[in-house]
């Protein structure tokens, strides 16, 4: 990815390093920030994101807890009630499920239940998604569950810079944030100015990663690199694809998404989680409701199959790849450009 | 020949040394629930405390009766009564300092009232005009918790946070016998013991989880025994003996405050009323069982102690009953007024900053309300 950082010659960093740096800076800036989870101390987390935090800030600030996710999140609720800003690590996507009752019945509702008297500034970091050769229960894309719970924010970074910026914003938020860390991007590298890391103005803003005019690919998290690659490959087919990185599923940045679709007239939503009942359905419905008269074709979805996450030796058949994205683009009724002449963004 | 082929010749190295992390003996509860009233030990009790407990018990019983009556009048959506459990409720409401925190379940509104909460605010959840009717920080009372035992880890987290900040704060968390079967009960007790958090877990064993009796809930010798497995002391107390519950809880609070960690207290009591006004207890228990517990009533127990020691006379008891009547009349009067409702509140507190989607939905509801208001005005004009 070409950024100002590349031109300025900063050293490459991984997403895991940027996340760790965000935690470190947040803890240094605000003594109320506490990290807790399984193996986050001496080990530095199974993905090493919390590496060095216990050493630098002490075990009271970066705490290895007993192995119990409901207990971890439940304790975080009490800590937040007492004015702390807990950052919880759930070791893997599918290991976060025991904490669902705390999340749904308390974390998401406490502010509303108490008319704002008890906010929940809790960040729940969830290493999520597949593509890392993980055995069962290590590759789930669980964002739809979280999205379906009012009161939560749901965020997924796709770049090294966003990993830092969005995590800082999540920790600073006075509301609970589900922070989905795409596991297969943990070791993705980008030139990144670690001395002056970029921040984001807040959560809830999408960004256009690649401007284009033929159609819009709407995506987030682990599917962004897939879409960027698809967009480059599409050039040979004569398609100039725009890629929108949502960054945040809740709040959903309708403005940026709809502005793009109104310009291009066509859209494909791409994500790894199951299609049925997945984020793509909500996004496609919204885009259709808001941009109907600008659309040249139905909004399509490219998603994971509606199956339990496959074993590692079969996962490549499940994960949406470049070809599947291009196939969807090809189905966007390009012949209609001859019958709808005059559409501001349709014909090419 | 190898050593394995020579039977009897192989001596394995001794395993790495093992010892229990803590001596289990001092953690074990007494064989019988601890009692004070009617025993010789009661003579040493502070008369002022006993009279205070008595006054609160009488008010508490009247409060339970009044709240139940309000369900019949349609003023409360539902009321889970603590009739018969007033000794537990009163003691829990009295043992904490102002800076401490109480974590009640939905059956514990009386404890919150004893702690100083306005009963109308305590009953907001059950009236249904909002979920929590008070500012938890103002009274250091967490929201009444409906999902069983899920408030227990909150108490642990809060107490832990307070200790990290260097504050002298204890959390008292209330749960029923049914709630002890939930996973959060286990996780909370384990976290509290590992963290040595200043928490008191208070199990009111009232015999039933809605209809399911104790025998179907646990095979443990007592709930207090469960403490041993976590490495904290378990205390078993007669839950209808207000003086004993007050003493045991006070000791546990003192212990937590002193940095010795959590305690699990089980109070053996009985739910005299049905689960709620919507429940029919005749389907699952015999009247004779209820009568046996009525004969061990918390108010009677304390009244006998007080009159036997001539600490209260008939006039004094009448004065307490009259005070309880006044509180009930005040509650009745205020609950008979319709609460002020603003439908737009539905959108106000979901997030610190309203999302674009919620702003749109709020606008839609506002428009619906305006239209409904207009048509009501027009109907009025036509009549």
| Per-residue pLDDT reduced to its tens digit, A275-292 | 999 999 999 999 999 999
The last residue of one of the domains, among B297, B313, B335, is B335
Low-confidence ranges of chain B (pLDDT < 50): none
Tell me if chain B has a CB within 8 Å of the CB of A85: no
**Count of CB atoms within 10 A of residue B167's CB?**
12
What is the pLDDT of chain A when averaged over all its residues? 94
**Predicted pLDDT at B377:** 80
Task: Please provide the DSSP assignment of A177-228 as one string.
Answer: EEEEEEGGGTT-EEE--SSS----S-SS--EEEE--SSEEEEE-GGGHHHHH
CB B232 within 8 A of CB B193: yes
The span from the CA of A188 to the CA of A13, in Å, is 8
| Cβ neighbours of B164 in A, within 8 Å | 34, 60, 84
Between the CA atoms of B130, B135, B140 and B145, what dihedral angle is there, to the nearest 10 degrees? 20
Instruction: Give yes or no: residues B352 and B330 share one domain.
Output: no
Residue of A70, A81, A252 lying closest to B184 (CB–CB): A70
Task: Please provide the DSSP assignment of A41-66 as one string.
Answer: STT--TTSTTTTHHHHH-TTTEEEPP
Determine whether the interchain pair A74/B164 forms a contact, defined as Cβ–Cβ distance below 8 Å. no
Determine whether the interchain pair A114/B184 forms a contact, defined as Cβ–Cβ distance below 8 Å. no
Positions of A marked active-site: 138
CATH code assigned at B105: 3.40.50.970
Tell me if chain B has a CB within 8 Å of the CB of A98: yes
Q: What is the number of domains present in chain B?
A: 2
Rounded to two decimals, what is the model's pTM? 0.94
| Cβ neighbours of A175 in B, within 8 Å | 351-352
The set of residues, in sequence order, having a beta carbon less than 8 Å from that of B287 and lying 6+ positions away, is none
Determine whether the interchain pair B352/A98 forms a contact, defined as Cβ–Cβ distance below 8 Å. no
pLDDT at A198 over 90: no
Alpha-carbon dihedral sign for residues B22, B23, B26, B32: positive
Instruction: Give yes or no: residues B303 and B373 share one domain.
Output: no
Active site residue B275: yes
Q: Which residue has the tokens 């039977």?
A: B7
Determine whether the interchain pair A84/B194 forms a contact, defined as Cβ–Cβ distance below 8 Å. no
Instruction: Give yes or no: residues B43 and B65 share one domain.
Output: yes
**Predicted pLDDT at A201:** 80
Indicate the CATH number for domain A207-338.
3.40.50.920
Options B35, B254, B284, B321, the catalytic residue: B284
Prediction ipTM score:
0.95
Domain of residue B326, residue span:
25-278+285-335
**Predicted pLDDT at B379:** 77
Confidence of residue A343 (pLDDT cuts 50, 70, 90): very low
Determine whether the interchain pair A174/B352 forms a contact, defined as Cβ–Cβ distance below 8 Å. yes
**Predicted pLDDT at B376:** 80
Residue B4 in any domain: the answer is no
Average pLDDT of span A156-175: 97
The residue ranges of every structural domain in chain A are 8-191, 207-338
- Shortest Cα–Cα distance, B60 to chain A (Å): 25
Tell me if chain B has a CB within 8 Å of the CB of A110: yes
Mutate to test the interface with B, among A69, A78, A175 (most CBs of B within 10 A): A78
Residue of B142, B158, B187 lying closest to A71 (CB–CB): B187
**Predicted pLDDT at B11:** 83
By C-alpha distance, the chain A residue nearest B142 is A81
Rg for chain A, CA atoms, rounded: 20
**Predicted pLDDT at B263:** 98
Mutate to test the interface with A, among B351, B356, B357 (most CBs of A within 10 A): B351
Determine whether the interchain pair A111/B345 forms a contact, defined as Cβ–Cβ distance below 8 Å. no
Task: Please provide the DSSP assignment of B342-356 as one string.
Answer: -TTHHHHSSSSS--H
Tell me if chain B has a CB within 8 Å of the CB of A277: no
Identical fold for domains A8-191 and A207-338, yes or no, is yes
Determine whether the interchain pair A81/B152 forms a contact, defined as Cβ–Cβ distance below 8 Å. no
Residue B33 in any domain: the answer is yes
Residue B11 in any domain: the answer is no
The span from the CA of A9 to the CA of A95, in Å, is 39
Residue B17 in any domain: the answer is no
The span from the CA of B129 to the CA of B339, in Å, is 7
Tell me if chain B has a CB within 8 Å of the CB of A59: no
Confidence of residue A342 (pLDDT cuts 50, 70, 90): very low
Determine whether the interchain pair B157/A82 forms a contact, defined as Cβ–Cβ distance below 8 Å. yes
The span from the CA of A4 to the CA of A18, in Å, is 17
Instruction: Give yes or no: residues B219 and B289 share one domain.
Output: yes
Options B75, B235, B255, B275, the catalytic residue: B275
CATH class of A8-191: alpha beta
Average pLDDT of span A297-303: 98
Instruction: Give yes or no: residues B156 and B219 share one domain.
Output: yes
Average pLDDT of span A321-341: 83
pLDDT tens digit sequence for A227-266: 999 999 999 999 999 999 999 999 999 999 999 999 999 9
| Cβ neighbours of B128 in A, within 8 Å | none
Residue B18 in any domain: the answer is no
The span from the CA of B314 to the CA of A78, in Å, is 46
Best CA proximity match to B205, nearest among B233, B179, B229, B234:
B179
Sort A18 into a burial class: Cβ within 10 Å, 0-12 / 13-18 / 19+. buried
pLDDT tens digit sequence for A36-82: 999 999 999 999 999 999 999 999 999 999 999 999 999 999 999 99
| Cβ neighbours of B130 in A, within 8 Å | 115
Confidence of residue A348 (pLDDT cuts 50, 70, 90): very low
Backbone angles phi and psi of A173, in degrees to 5: -70, 140
CB B130 within 8 A of CB B122: no
Determine whether the interchain pair A71/B188 forms a contact, defined as Cβ–Cβ distance below 8 Å. yes
CB B119 within 8 A of CB B109: yes
Residue B14 in any domain: the answer is no
Best CA proximity match to A207, nearest among A194, A219, A222, A192:
A219
Number of Cβ pairs closer than 8 Å across A and B? 138
Q: Which residue has the tokens 């807990």?
A: A86
**Predicted pLDDT at A11:** 86
Examine residue A251 and say whether the peptide bond preceding it is cis (omega within 30 degrees of 0): yes
Determine whether the interchain pair A117/B142 forms a contact, defined as Cβ–Cβ distance below 8 Å. no
Alpha carbon separation from A54 to A24, A48, A85, B178 (Å, rounded): 10, 12, 16, 38
């Amino acid at each position: 990815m070409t950024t100002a950082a590349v031109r300025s010659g900063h050293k490459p960093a991984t997403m895991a390093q940027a996340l760790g740096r965000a935690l470190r800076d947040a803890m240094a800036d605000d003594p109320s920030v506490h990290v807790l989870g399984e193996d986050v101390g001496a080990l530095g987390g199974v993905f090493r994101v919390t590496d060095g935090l216990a050493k630098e800030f002490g075990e009271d600030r970066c705490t290895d807890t007993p192995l119990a996710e409901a207990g971890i999140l439940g304790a975080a609720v009490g800590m937040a009630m007492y004015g702390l800003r807990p950052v919880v690590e759930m070791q893997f996507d599918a290991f976060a499920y025991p904490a669902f009752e705390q999340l749904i019945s308390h974390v998401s509702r406490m502010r509303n239940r108490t008319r704002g008297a008890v906010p929940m500034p809790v960040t729940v970091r969830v290493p999520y998604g597949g593509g890392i050769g993980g055995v069962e229960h290590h590759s789930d894309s669980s964002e739809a569950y979280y999205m379906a719970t009012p009161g939560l924010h749901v965020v997924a970074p796709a770049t090294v810079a966003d990993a830092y910026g969005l995590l800082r914003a999540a920790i600073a938020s006075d509301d609970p944030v589900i922070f989905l860390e795409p596991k297969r991007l943990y070791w993705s590298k980008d030139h990144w100015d670690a001395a002056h890391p970029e921040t984001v103005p807040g959560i809830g803003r999408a960004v256009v990663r690649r401007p284009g005019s033929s159609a819009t690919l709407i995506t987030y998290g682990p599917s962004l690199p897939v879409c960027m690659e698809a967009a480059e490959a599409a050039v040979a087919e004569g398609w100039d694809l725009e890629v929108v990185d949502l960054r945040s599923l809740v709040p959903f940045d309708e403005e940026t998404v709809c502005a793009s679709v109104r310009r291009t007239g066509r859209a494909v939503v791409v994500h790894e989680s199951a299609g049925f009942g997945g984020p793509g359905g909500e996004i496609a419905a919204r885009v259709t409701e808001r941009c109907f008269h600008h659309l040249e074709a139905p909004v399509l979805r490219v998603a994971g199959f509606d199956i339990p996450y496959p074993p590692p030796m079969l996962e490549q058949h499940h994960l949406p790849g470049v070809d599947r994205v291009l196939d969807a683009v090809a189905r966007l009724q390009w012949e209609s450009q001859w019958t709808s002449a005059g559409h501001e963004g349709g014909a090419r | 020949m190898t050593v394995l082929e020579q039977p009897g010749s192989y001596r394995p190295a001794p395993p790495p040394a093992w010892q229990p992390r803590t001596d289990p003996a001092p953690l074990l509860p007494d064989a019988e629930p601890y009692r004070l009233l009617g025993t010789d030990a009661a003579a040493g009790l502070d008369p002022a405390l006993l009279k205070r407990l008595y006054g609160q018990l009488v008010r508490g019983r009247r409060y339970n009766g009044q709240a139940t009556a309000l369900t019949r009048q349609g003023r409360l959506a539902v009321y889970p009564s603590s009739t018969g459990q007033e000794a537990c409720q009163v003691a829990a409401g009295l043992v904490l300092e102002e800076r401490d925190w109480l974590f009640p379940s939905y059956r514990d509104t009386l404890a919150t009232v004893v702690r100083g909460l306005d009963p109308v605010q305590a009953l907001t959840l059950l009236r249904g005009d909002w979920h929590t009717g008070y500012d938890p920080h103002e009274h250091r009372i967490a929201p009444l918790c409906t999902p069983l035992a899920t408030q227990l880890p909150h108490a642990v987290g809060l107490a832990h946070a307070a200790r990290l900040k260097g504050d002298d704060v204890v959390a008292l968390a209330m749960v029923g016998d049914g709630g002890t079967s939930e996973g959060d009960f286990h996780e909370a007790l384990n976290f509290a013991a590992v963290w040595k958090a200043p928490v008191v877990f208070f199990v009111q064993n009232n015999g039933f989880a809605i209809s399911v009796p104790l025998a179907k809930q646990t095979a443990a010798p007592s709930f207090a025994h469960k403490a041993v497995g976590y490495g904290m002391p378990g205390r078993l107390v007669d839950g209808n003996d207000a003086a004993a519950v007050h003493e045991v809880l006070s000791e546990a609070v003192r212990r937590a405050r002193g940095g010795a960690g959590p305690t699990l207290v089980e109070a053996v009591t009985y739910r005299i009323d049905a689960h709620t006004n919507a429940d029919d207890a005749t389907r699952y228990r015999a009247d004779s069982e209820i009568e046996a517990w009525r004969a061990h009533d918390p108010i009677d127990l304390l009244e006998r102690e007080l009159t036997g020691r001539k600490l209260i006379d008939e006039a004094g008891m009448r004065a307490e009953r009259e005070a309880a009547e006044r509180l009930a009349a005040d509650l009745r009067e205020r609950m008979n007024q319709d609460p002020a409702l603003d439908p737009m509140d539905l959108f106000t507190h979901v997030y610190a900053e309203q999302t674009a989607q919620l702003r749109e939905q709020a606008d839609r509801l506002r428009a619906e309300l305006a239209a409904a208001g207009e048509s009501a005005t027009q109907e009025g004009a036509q009549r």
